[in-house]
Amino acid sequence: MPYISNTDRDRQEMFATIGISKFEELIRAIPEKFRLKSELKLDPAMSELEITHKIKSQTCQNLCAQSANSFLGAGVYDHFIPAAVDSIVSRPEFFTAYTPYQAEVSQGTLQFIYEYQTMICELTGMEIANASMYDAASAIAEAILMAVRKNKLLKAILPATLHPEYVEVIRSYTEGVGIELLTAPAQDGVMDKAALKAMMDESIGSVVLQSPNYFGNIEDAEEISEIVHSQAKCLLIACVDPISLAILQTPADYKADIVVGEGQALGNSMYMGGPLFGFFATKLDMARLMPGRIVGGTLDKEGKRAYALTLQAREQHIRREKATSNICSNQSLCTLAATVYMSLMGREGLKEVSTQSAQKAHYLADELCKIDGIKAAYPSASFFKEFVISTPISADMIIEKMLPRGIYAGVKVGENQLMIAVTEKKRKAEIDEFVHAMKEVCHV
């Protein structure tokens, strides 16, 4: 059997030490009638060679973003990943290690998480970050729950410009503890500030802002922050694209109280949307209200620098039902990829990724809008690397017609509305090919 070391002879030797003659004596606590009488109905076991063939045939039935010309985004982005990232992430020292509870033999994991937390704080301008959550969606949900711990106010406002799948996840996470979710409407692809202002009163505990928002548009975060903070207790939760933060204002600049976001774009492959990881950062005075693992610097008994999990009294393994969250893991290996990625990119590299993404996205938007019948869906809004166009034929039809050309045209966000994402990976020739194909597809 693969991966099982002991042979029947070994088993016999062990039975002698245990003092039994056959395996069944060890499971006598399991009532006889509960024991399976026949084998599980599974495919016959495959060798490594056979499973390799099977997986190859499955991958052949997929058409991935590498073999297609893809303009899909909506929360998962195809940014360039330097080879050195996987070279580190694929080291068993990191990927077969457990959670760093035994600090003395986990300093490698603990230190990279400490560095990761530092980088997240650098990007966002915040003071403390945790070791990560499952994805941006659960990170927003946890932020809303944290706001309730802070101000005991059970109403939260979500913008209509928030990723619809995030809204679903947030609802799952918050309905049980009695949080009421309100929706702030959108106007021209961004939050309607007047409407938000009208919704604000002293019962609102938190307001979520996504910028760039689901549609790719940059929200007027400073003004929204002022509206939110007109209520003294209300917290502003900002959900941001980490790549954008190399060139766009930090959430700290507009006085966000909790900052979260989807971290996948930082050095992690898309893998059909999982794993993802949510980063989570806030101000020091709310450290004890945070969910999730946090690594802190400390000393060992000889006074040498060392790292350990800290503030564990917040967590489920200590506090049980009184914990700040039920989360027991983090997306550790994804944050390692992000940490190595950010180290390789450095301050100038990340700016370049961010700048080129924005430049190419705007070039594509301009070119598409030259096509008869296509126009920007939100002409008054500024965007970063993703935008929505209004199309002369249905978005579904465009997506279907572009498919045989090997182009993933974008994500449908309305009957005649297509959302298109561009990263620095796209070459001008690929963008031009897309424009050319769109001309044909929209005018037959």
Partner 1 sequence: MSKTIFEHSSAGRKGVTLPAREIDTPLEQLIPARYHRKGTARLPEVSELDVMRHYIELSHKNHFIEKGLYPLGSCTMKYNPKVHEALVRHTCFANLHPYQHESTLQGALELMYELQEDLAEISGMAQVTLQPVAGAQGEFTGIKIIDAYHKAKGNAHKTKIIIPDSAHGTNPATCHLVGFDVIELKSDANGRCDLARLREIVDENTAGFMLTNPNTLGLFETQIEEIAEIMHSVDALIYMDGANLNALLGIVQPGKIGFDVIHFNLHKTFSTPHGGGGPGAGPVGVVEKLIPYLPVPMVSKDEQGYHLDYGHEATSMGKVHTFYGNFAVLVRAYIYIKMLGAKGLRRVSENAIINANYLMARLKDYYHIEHLEPCMHEFVADSSWQKKEYGVSTLDIAKRLLDKGFHAPTVYFPLIIPEAMMIEPTETESLESLNAFADAMIEIAQESKANPELLHEAPLTTPVRRVDDVRAVKVLDPIFKIET
Sole window of 147-155, 198-206, 224-232, 351-359 interacting with partner 1 (rule: CB under 8 A): 351-359
Stretch that binds partner 1, among 152-160, 189-197, 233-241, 338-346 (CB under 8 A): 338-346
From candidates 21, 185, 274, 379, binder to partner 1 by CB under 8 A: 274
CA distance 362 to 356: 10
Residue span binding partner 1 (CB under 8 A) among the ranges 147-155, 202-210, 228-236, 328-336: 328-336
Residue from 82, 150, 233, 414 that binds partner 1 (CB under 8 A)?
82
Strand, helix or coil for residue 373: coil
389 secondary structure, DSSP code: E
> C-beta of 2: minimal distance to partner 1 in Å?
6
Say how far apart CA 213 and CA 241 lie, in whole Å: 9
One of 32, 152, 232, 304 touching partner 1 (CB under 8 A)? 304
Amino acid found at 221: A
| Burial bucket for residue 122 (CB in 10 Å: 0-12, 13-18, 19+) | middle
What is the torsional sign of CA 141, 147, 149, 154? Answer: negative
Q: Write down the residue that tokens 């039902």 correspond to.
A: 321
* Cα–Cα nearest to 418, from 383, 372, 368: 368
Distance in angstroms (rounded) separating the CA atoms of residues 174 and 85: 36
Binding flag, residue 194, partner 1 (CB under 8 A): no
Residue from 182, 201, 230, 271 in contact with partner 1 (CB under 8 A): 271
The nearer residue to partner 1, 198 or 319, going by C-beta atoms, is 319
Q: Quick one: which of 70, 213, 225, 416 contacts partner 1 (CB under 8 A)?
A: 70
Nearer Cβ to partner 1 (178/372): 178
Q: How many residues line the site for partner 1 (CB under 8 A)?
A: 209
CA distance 323 to 173: 15
- Residue corresponding to tokens 């060798």: 47
3-state SS track over 108-123? HHHHHHHHHHHHHHHH
Which residue stretch of 65-73, 149-157, 189-197, 232-240 sits at the interface with partner 1 (rule: CB under 8 A)?
65-73
| Binding to partner 1 in span 354-393, by CB under 8 A | 355-356, 358-360, 362-363, 382-384
* Cα–Cα distance for residue pair 361/17, rounded to 1 Å: 69
Alpha-carbon gap, residue 296 to 286, rounded angstroms:
15
Q: Which two tokens stand for residue 327?
A: 């989360």
Among residues 196 and 239, whose Cβ is nearest to partner 1?
239
Complex with partner 1: residue 40 or 444, whichever CB lies closer: 40
Q: Does 336 bind partner 1 (CB under 8 A)?
A: yes
Among positions 21, 202, 230, 346, the unique one binding partner 1 when judged by CB under 8 A: 346
Nearer to partner 1, 301 or 372 (CB): 301
| Residue from 294, 388, 398, 438 binding partner 1 (CB under 8 A) | 294
> Assign residue 87 a region: left if phi > 0, alpha if psi is -120 to 50, beta otherwise?
alpha
User: Strands 278-282, 258-262: parallel, antiparallel or unpaired by DSSP?
Assistant: antiparallel
Which of 295, 368, 371, 388 lies at the binding interface for partner 1 (CB under 8 A)? 295
Dig out the tokens for 263 from the structure. 């971290």
Binding partner 1 by CB under 8 A: which of 183, 203, 329, 380?
Answer: 329
Taking CB under 8 A as the criterion, the residue among 345, 377, 418, 420 binding partner 1 is: 345
Nearer to partner 1, 82 or 231 (CB): 82
Q: How many Cβ atoms sit within 10 Å of the Cβ of residue 359?
A: 13
Binding residues for partner 1 restricted to 123-152, rule: CB under 8 A: 123, 127-129, 131-132, 134-138
Site for partner 1 in 222-241 (CB under 8 A): 222
Nearest to 77 by CA among 279, 216, 221, 251: 216
Residue 435 interacts with partner 1 (CB under 8 A): yes or no:
no
